[in-house]
Amino acid sequence: MSERNVFEVLIVDDHPLMRRGIRQLLEIDDAFLVVGEASSGTEAISLANRLAPDLILLDLNMKGLSGLDTLNALRREGVSARIIVLTVSDSRSDIFTLIDAGADGYLLKDSDPEVLLDDIRRGATGGEAFSTQVAEYLRTRGTQKRSGAPFATLTERELDVLQEVARGLSNKQIAAGLHISEETVKVHIRNLLRKLQVRSRVAATVLFLESRGI
């Protein structure tokens, strides 16, 4: 954060009109200073490393690198900024996947502007930054875990990967079979281990087999 206690913000969205709208919203509040705008994930990574913002507002569905890929890359690069996903997607699988990948918040673009600004401010200061619907999904997810239904939190692709892991396939074999990159396989495995609250592929396999009575 700057010496004036202003949060320096990087906006990442591939739609110029949306970037302008977000900038105008943030300019209402003296607590924010937009220091950069990126129209792609690749540009976001470069700017984040150069500008070292306090907060990154990240779109999910972008051309080229997706929001998820961009988030993973930012964390691998050691970017310490708080990262809040700002998107139109209220899909449970998107929400769970981005939160598990390290997003600090998840806000919906169709939120009321005043509410959205409050949520962004709360997230910038270290608090929770979830739209009402998103927060409800996350509470429901917690209930599912406690009730013994951990697999309900996995996306279809994560279940596909887990099934291949249970067959004893390597990351390379899984990537070839599902027509995705090995890096994507690693991301899915990391996410599903976190969701299942286990630390190894073996433990995940045991849970998977037990759930199917094997």
Look up residue 118 and give its DSSP letter.
H
Chain mean pLDDT for the chain: 88
- Between 77 and 147, the more confident residue is 77
Mean pLDDT in residue range 19-29: 96
Pairs from 110-118 (Cβ < 8 Å, separation ≥ 24): 113/25, 116/25, 117/25, 117/26, 117/28, 117/29
Per-residue pLDDT of 37-54, as tens digits, reads 999 999 999 999 999 999
Whole-number CA gyration radius for the chain? 18
Q: How far is CA 207 from each of CA 4, 24, 63, 83, 170, rounded to the nearest angstrom?
A: 51, 49, 36, 32, 18
pTM of the model: 0.67
Give pLDDT, residue 197: 79
Render pLDDT for 128-156 as a digit per residue (tens, 0 to 9). 899 998 988 877 765 455 444 567 778 88
Q: Quick one: tokens of 135?
A: 């927060």
* CA–CA separation, 37 and 56 (whole Å): 10
